[in-house]
Structure 1
Amino acid sequence: MSDRVDGHLATALEELVDDDGTPVLVALDFDGVLAPLVDDPKASRMTPAARAAVDRLGAHVWGGGAGRARLAFVSGRDLDDLAGRAAPPVGSYLVGSHGAQTGHATVAGLESVPLELTPEQTAVLAELTAALDSAVVGREGAWVQRKPSAAVLHTRQAGPADSAAAIEAAAAAAARLGLDAMHGKDVVEIAVLHTSKGEALERLRTVVAHDLGAPAARVLYAGDDTTDEKAFAVLGAGDVALKVGPGETLAAHRVPDPDGVAAVLDRITELLASGAGS
């Protein structure tokens, strides 16, 4: 599938996986990037091509226990849910809840950093969740997802009027509680912790460089949603920002769908296997 990558993007990938010894972090959102967007988040699955490409890259990165590339999954999903859906190759980094949760895939399973809220944050989260629960009453198709540090309004299956009313109520609740509302594709996530995918990606870059004994690392980040723009915003020279699907974006590169992402991952694996990543 890597023959689907050409032109400007192909050149950028070659520069990403240069032979100068700089570590490479391949960081991927899940929904809309590796898995098509679906009405029911519990039904989300990687496409066969994306699954195979992730596994091939993971096997190359970790097969010999060496190398200078690392793989990460960065999602708005709860960390445990992300780990279950992504089935990450051993050694992968995981970031859940837009950066509020972090973990590492080991042979024994997911190793995560405990997330603890203060009593005040716990109380605010309870008030927030109650407000969102009220916002979806009588609005068919709108529902509220609970996370360890956030509540999420889902409106993908709601009609336009119900969706607009629920979103307005969620925004009002966030403002009243002094919280930021993150608007994505048919979702509004409100967290009691300040997080963003951009901050999470910067931390991952530092971790990878430190773990591999290098002063810096280059990053490819692939995302599809408005929340991914904060990750694109922290990328710089030598990095690759990859937008998946339509929409305005800061990213310099774009592929149409998860199978396009699979082609990019396969090309990275080929470049690493050719010796550029050794």
Structure 2
Amino acid sequence: MALEADLRAALEALARTPHLLVALDFDGTLAPLVERAEDARPLPASGAALRALAGLPDTTTALISGRALDSLRAVANPPEVTMMIGSHGAETWTGPDGDPLALTPAQMDLRARAIEVVERIVAAHPGTRIEFKPAGVVLHTRTADDDVARSAVAAARTELAQLDGLSVTDGKRVLETSVVKADKGEGLAVLRGASGATAVLFAGDDVTDEHAQRTLEPGDIGIRIGPGETAAAFTVATPEAFTEVLEELVSLRTSGARG
């Protein structure tokens, strides 16, 4: 599939920037969505394109995900130099010298109470699952029937609303909770500053990615994967279609499109 002319023209301009940051969501962007989060893997061609970009001069690659960093490393197997934002911005890895996430005693207690709530919800709703994160807990409903999923999310939202200081966010068949208030927009700002980027390509498929889309500046490119309301300037239909975008960027950046 040939890229649309306006997207290709934007990529040509982006490829000429002095220092490029390519910051990407993982699930639904580099990897197709799957029922079991641990089974996700990047599309081979997208993974190869990410590795190629990571090896180019004056080019920084990064992953920005709702996953915890350990989970993201396990499924994405990113290039060693790739920076990472996990847990929707609560966790940051910009190199081996960075400090790991550390919760206060109050945050640890709040996380424990949120876990108790989600554990009760999962026990009462067949097909739902719980995921533990360093800063919170996630209710997964992708493997539950639709009516069960709706009931589980409604019940969880009601109980979690009683916990002061907890951030609750909807995603695709997930309900995310965190004791650290952060989002992907804040994470992208950290990556932009750490890399010294003069322009950014950001791509994502979910409502949580819109926080990052709305922070993009003139000269950046935002891409939405799949349907949905978005602040991104461009949309491609599937992760497979996004592979072509990455491959085109590799070609342009490699061929000396930079001025």
Same fold (TM over 0.5): yes
Q: Which amino acid aligns with 1:128?
A: A
Q: Which residue of 2 aligns with 1:70?
A: 60
Which residue of 2 is the match for residue 156 of structure 1?
Answer: 142
User: More displaced, 245-254 or 37-46?
Assistant: 245-254
Matches of 1:173 and 1:4 in 2, distance apart? 48
Q: Which residue of 2 aligns with 1:84?
A: 74
Give runs of aligned pairs for residues 107-122 of structure 1, distance below 5 A.
113-122=99-108
Q: Is the 8 A contact 2:167 2:180 kept in 1?
A: no
State the distance in 2 between where 1:227 and 1:187 align: 11
* Partner amino acid, structure 1, of 2:77: A
Q: Does residue 1:95 correspond to 2:85, yes or no? A: yes
Match of 1:180 in 2: 167
User: What TM-score comes out, normalization by structure 2 length?
Assistant: 0.94
Instruction: State the match for 1:146 in structure 2.
Output: 132
Q: Give yes or no for the alignment of 1:130 onto 2:128.
A: no
- Distance in 1 between residues matched to 2:147 and 2:253, nearest whole Å: 50
2:184 aligns to what? 197
Give a deviation string over 1:37-73, Cα, whole Å, max 9, x none: 00000111111221222222223x2xxxxx2211001
Rounded to whole Å, the distance in 2 between the matches of 1:134 and 1:112 is 35
Q: Secondary structure at the match of 1:207?
A: helix
Contact 2:138 2:174 in 1 (8 A): yes
Q: CA deviation at 1:111?
A: 6.5
1:149-206 CA distances to partner (integer Å, 9 max, x unpaired)? 1100000111122111211122123321122211000001010000100000011111
Spell out, residue by residue over 1:12-43, the C-alpha distance to the aligned partner (whole angstroms, 9 max, x if none).
11121225x3x210001100001100000011
Q: What RMSD, in angstroms, separates the aligned Cα atoms of the two structures?
A: 1.7
Deviations for 1:105-141, whole angstroms, at most 9, x for unmatched residues? 6xxxx77531111111100100000011111223111
* Identity between Structure 1 and Structure 2 (%): 40
**1:8-19 paired onto structure 2 within 5 Å:** 8-18=6-16
How far off is 1:80 after superposition? 1.2
List runs of 5+ in structure 1 lacking aligned partners.
62-66, 210-215
Q: Relative to 1, partners in 2 of residues 1:5 and 1:186: Cα closer, same or farther, differing over 3 Å?
A: same
Cα deviation 1:217-239 (Å, max 9, x = unaligned) = 21110100010011101012111
- The question of whether the paired residues in 2 share the 8 Å contact of 1:144 and 1:152 is answered with yes
Alignment map for 1:243-262 (pairs within 5 Å): 243-262=224-243
1:44–1:185 CA distance, 2 compared to 1 (3 A): same
Q: Tell whether the 8 Å contact from 2:16 to 2:253 is kept in structure 1 after alignment.
A: no
> Equivalents in 2 of 1:112, 1:87: separation in Å?
19
Question: Are 1:51 and 2:47 matched, yes or no?
Answer: yes
SS at match of 1:72: strand
Alignment-derived partner of residue 242 in structure 1:
223
Measured in 1, the distance between the counterparts of 2:122 and 2:147 equals 12
Separation of aligned partners in 2, 1:102 and 1:116: 11
**AA at the equivalent of 2:80:** V
Q: Write the distance in 1 (CA, Å) between the matches of 2:2 and 2:121.
A: 45
Matched to 1:100, the amino acid is A
Structure 2 residue runs without a partner (length 5+): none
Give the equivalent residue in structure 2 for 1:213: none
The AA in structure 2 aligned to 1:95 is I
Match of 1:266, SS state, is: helix
Structure 1 residues 225 and 35: alpha-carbon distance in aligned structure 2, compared to 1, 3 A threshold: same
Distance in 2 between residues matched to 1:24 and 1:260, nearest whole Å: 21
CA contact 1:4–1:260 (8 Å) conserved in 2: no
| Contact 2:167/2:178 (8 A) holds in 1 | yes
Distance 1:274 1:49 in 2: 19
The number of equivalent residue pairs is 258
